[in-house]
Structure 1
Amino acid sequence: MRKICLVLSVILGLFSCTSDVDNLDSEMKSIELSAKTSSENVKLLTAWTANRSSPVQINYQRKFKVKVKNLAYQKEVAIHHATYNGNWVDIPLTFEQAIDNDEEIWVGEVTPDYEIYSDEFVVKYTVNGETYWDNNNGKNYSMLVNVGGYLSPEINVELNKDFTRSTGASFAINVNARRNYGAPAAVEVVYTTDNWVTKNTVPLTYQRYFRVGYAHYIMSPNQFDVDVYDTSIRVADNVQSIDFAIIYKVDGQEYWDNNYGDNYTLNKIIY
Structure 2
Amino acid sequence: MRKIYLVFSVILGLFSCTSDVDNLDSEIKSIELSEKISSENVKLLSAWTANRSSPVHINYQRKFKVKVKNLGYQKEVVIHHATFDGNWVDIPLTFEQAIDNDEEIWIGELTPDYEVYSDEFVVKYMVNGKTYWDNNSGKNYSMLVNVGGYLSPEINVELNKSFTRPTGSSFAINVNSRRNYGTTTTVEVVYTTDSWATKTTIPLTYQRYFRVGYAHYIMSPNQFDVDIYDTSIRVSEDVQSIDFAIVYKVDGQEYWDNNYGRNYTLSKVIY
**TM class by smaller structure:** over 0.9
Deviations, residues 181-222 of structure 1 (Å, cap 9, x unaligned): 020100000001111111000110000011111111111100
Partner of 2:190: 190
Shift of 1:268: 1.1
Name the SS of the counterpart of 1:28 in structure 2. Answer: helix
**Residues 113-132 of structure 1: matches in 2 within 5 Å?**
113-132=113-132
- For residues 216 and 175 of structure 2, what CA distance do their matches in structure 1 show? 18
Partner of 2:269: 269
Range 182-191 or range 6-15, more displaced? 6-15
**Residues 100-115 of structure 1: matches in 2 within 5 Å?**
100-115=100-115
**Residues 72-87 of structure 1: matches in 2 within 5 Å?**
72-87=72-87
**1:154 maps to 2:150:** no
Identity value in percent: 86
Counterpart of 1:88 in structure 2: which amino acid?
W
Counterpart of 2:80 in structure 1: which amino acid?
H
Counterpart of 1:104 in structure 2: which amino acid?
E
Deviations, residues 140-176 of structure 1 (Å, cap 9, x unaligned): 0000111100000000000000110101111110000
Partner of 1:66: 66
- For residues 102 and 95 of structure 1, what CA distance do their matches in structure 2 show? 14
- For residues 34 and 10 of structure 2, what CA distance do their matches in structure 1 show? 36
- For residues 22 and 234 of structure 1, what CA distance do their matches in structure 2 show? 54
- For residues 115 and 84 of structure 1, what CA distance do their matches in structure 2 show? 8
Q: TM-score, normalised by structure 2?
A: 0.98
- For residues 41 and 154 of structure 1, what CA distance do their matches in structure 2 show? 15
**1:250 maps to 2:250:** yes
**Residues 111-260 of structure 1: matches in 2 within 5 Å?**
111-260=111-260
Counterpart of 2:73 in structure 1: which amino acid?
Y
Kept in 2, the 8 Å contact 1:38–1:138? The answer is yes
Kept in 2, the 8 Å contact 1:220–1:226? The answer is yes
Specify every segment of 5 or more residues in structure 2 that has no aligned partner in the other structure, as ranges: none
Kindly report structure 1 stretches of 4+ aligned residues shifted beyond 6 Å.
Answer: none
Indicate the RMSD between aligned Cα atoms, in angstroms. 0.8
- For residues 52 and 2 of structure 1, what CA distance do their matches in structure 2 show? 50
- For residues 87 and 136 of structure 2, what CA distance do their matches in structure 1 show? 20
Shift of 1:256: 0.1
Deviations, residues 221-241 of structure 1 (Å, cap 9, x unaligned): 001000000000111111110
- For residues 239 and 16 of structure 1, what CA distance do their matches in structure 2 show? 63
Partner of 1:89: 89
- For residues 2 and 192 of structure 1, what CA distance do their matches in structure 2 show? 81
Specify every segment of 5 or more residues in structure 1 that has no aligned partner in the other structure, as ranges: none
Partner of 1:25: 25
Partner of 1:56: 56
Range 76-85 or range 5-14, more displaced? 5-14
- For residues 86 and 254 of structure 1, what CA distance do their matches in structure 2 show? 44
Give the number of aligned pairs: 271
Name the SS of the counterpart of 1:239 in structure 2. Answer: coil
Name the SS of the counterpart of 2:98 in structure 1. Answer: strand
Kept in 2, the 8 Å contact 1:191–1:242? The answer is yes
Shift of 1:2: 3.6
Name the SS of the counterpart of 2:146 in structure 1. Answer: coil
Kept in 2, the 8 Å contact 1:168–1:270? The answer is no
Counterpart of 2:248 in structure 1: which amino acid?
Y
